[in-house]
Amino acid sequence: MRILALLFSVAAYAGAQAAVSCESLASLTLPGATITAAQAIAGSFTPPGEKAIDNLPALCRVAGVIKPSSDSSIRFEVWLPSAGWNHKFQGIGNGGFAGSISYGPGGLATAVTRGYAAASTDTGHQGSGIEAKWALGHPEKIADFGYRAIHETAVKAKAIVAAYYGEGPRRSYFASCSNGGRQALMEAQRYPADYDGIVAGAPANAWTQTLAGFVWNAQAMADPASHIPAAKLAAIERAVIAACDAQDGVKDGILENPANCGFDPAAMVCESADTASCLTAPQASVLKKIYGGPKNSNGDPISPGFEPGGETGSGGWGLWITGSGPGKSLQYIFATQFIQNMVFDTAAWDYRTFDFDRDMKTVNGKMAHTLNATDSDLSAFDRRGGKLILFHGWNDAALPPANTINYYNSVRSKMGAKAADAMVRLYMIPGLQHCSGGPGATYCGGLGPAMADAGHDLSAALERWVEEGVAPAVMVASKFKKEGDVTSAVVRTHPICPYPQSAVYSGTGSMDDAANFACE
């Protein structure tokens, strides 16, 4: 009888069905929230203002609005598989300043395809993820964006899951990157009961310091004579690779650990005429400042700098750091939108006047508590059995990779190495740009379509850790023949080592095969 009961339990876990009709959820009563839609979907759905999403399983889409304050209007959606639910819930985060529900790749559609009931929110405002005018004069909306919306969405979504299936989720997970990584850590720190396991990629958790770093870079290149043009980025990267690529035993154009690279920008100063293959003295000085990161007048670091070796590519410095000219990078946009609309409440603010002694006190005083997720005490999350996987790409040009290392080290310092090792892993991924893309093998699941197993997929590794007690070790990342298409052929694999280990080539065999490397 026990065997029969176990088999029944396993079968139920593998594919739960809905207990009530989708449409009946329209009349569901939730404290502080209103259900605005409950509709059955199968095959295709077209989100407001977006392209159609095809190949969806049969699901129930529930939309609603949460109002935790008089100035709040948090839109959220919960997607629930009509059949084949895995008895798990997944929360999905937002990039940038949010402003929209995450529907497509890496969002609700991906989650339900993997069998989860899932939820996403716009965090309380609508608009482009690179502007923050909605925040001007609206402290409650900033609080919603900072921490409240993600938590409120998790609570309401789980209630909807329980109403639809007749039982709540047996496990809850959160996986996101960038601002979504900040949201992930905010959940672990402030609301440890919300999730059993969390994947936090490239977290913007030290928000105030990181965006001050954006101002630092913008100020360094405010003078056109000091600006580093996009035409010189390839030469910079070539010089870095020439200096440091062989450190891991493989000359493959990718630095295994750029922190070990002692490249000096002064080596690129033009000996005669200024060309695309060299730097002027002011440009070399700027490059050194970007690598070094922002400091106050005493020389104390405010935020880490950016790593050498990831200057080119579609998600490289030309997009994020240097732009096409002074004041034309994404970092400039994010910094000015944040400080104008959340800190100084004036569109007249000029980034060139920012003082890293005086103004950092103001920025931190007004926004650190609301936006920063830097608390290293994860003991409450640990007590409920929570597990956390951090990852960051070494080639990230949007958010400094060393920031995630600093947070990881702070957790180990606060909780002790033994306790931290039982609940936290950090993976620094060579060649990975901001959350995705970059040269080499950089894809190991977690945020997108599932890979084969827990050795290749961060989300699968997290679930095995939570549910079976098997801690993740070395992961294997993949590079596909068609960039971004996990159904295309795998052309390269590479080990992703738990920090502080790095992969070292054995000296024999293909450099495109992870089996020929070891973590040391």
* Distant-in-sequence contacts of 356-365, Cβ < 8 A, 24+ apart: 356/212, 356/216, 356/294, 356/295, 356/296, 356/297, 356/302, 357/296, 357/297, 360/208, 360/209, 360/212, 360/296, 360/302, 363/208, 363/211, 363/212, 363/339, 364/208, 364/209
Residue in 72, 120, 176, 178 annotated catalytic: 178
| Pick from 506, 143, 193: nearest CA to 378 | 193
Residue in 196, 248, 382, 396 annotated catalytic: 396
- The per-residue DSSP string of 170-206 comes to SEEEEEEETHHHHHHHHHHHH-TTS-SEEEEES---S
**pLDDT for residue 141:** 98
Angle at Cα 104 formed by Cα 99 and Cα 109, nearest 5°?
120
Q: What is the DSSP letter of 226?
A: T
**Of residues 347 and 106, which shows the higher confidence score?**
106
Residue 355 φ then ψ, to 5°: -110, 125
Percent of the chain with pLDDT over 70: 97
Averaged pLDDT for residues 474-479: 96
Local confidence band at 283 (pLDDT 50, 70, 90 cut-offs): very high
Say whether pLDDT at 137 is over 90: yes
456 part of the active site:
no
Residue in 434, 436, 478, 494 annotated catalytic: 434
Strand residue runs (E) in 343-419: 387-393
In contact, 320 and 331? CB cutoff 8 Å: yes
Instruction: Write out pLDDT tens, residues 334-356.
Output: 999 999 999 998 878 899 999 99
Helix axes 207-220, 330-338, angle to 10 degrees: 120
The pTM assigned to this predicted structure is 0.95
Averaged pLDDT for residues 21-46: 96
Say whether pLDDT at 6 is over 50: no
Instruction: Write out pLDDT tens, residues 397-437.
Output: 999 999 999 999 999 999 999 999 999 999 999 999 999 99
434 part of the active site:
yes
Strand residue runs (E) in 214-269: none
**pLDDT for residue 451:** 80
**Of residues 106 and 5, which shows the higher confidence score?**
106
> To which CATH superfamily is domain 172-205+373-471 assigned?
Alpha/Beta hydrolase fold, catalytic domain (3.40.50.1820)
Give the CB-side neighbour count of residue 143, counting CA atoms within 13 A.
13
In contact, 308 and 395? CB cutoff 8 Å: no
Residues 6+ apart with CB under 8 A from 304: 213, 293, 400, 401, 402, 403, 406
Local confidence band at 8 (pLDDT 50, 70, 90 cut-offs): very low
Domain boundaries, the chain: 1-169, 172-205+373-471, 209-370
Say whether pLDDT at 91 is over 70: yes
Local confidence band at 15 (pLDDT 50, 70, 90 cut-offs): low
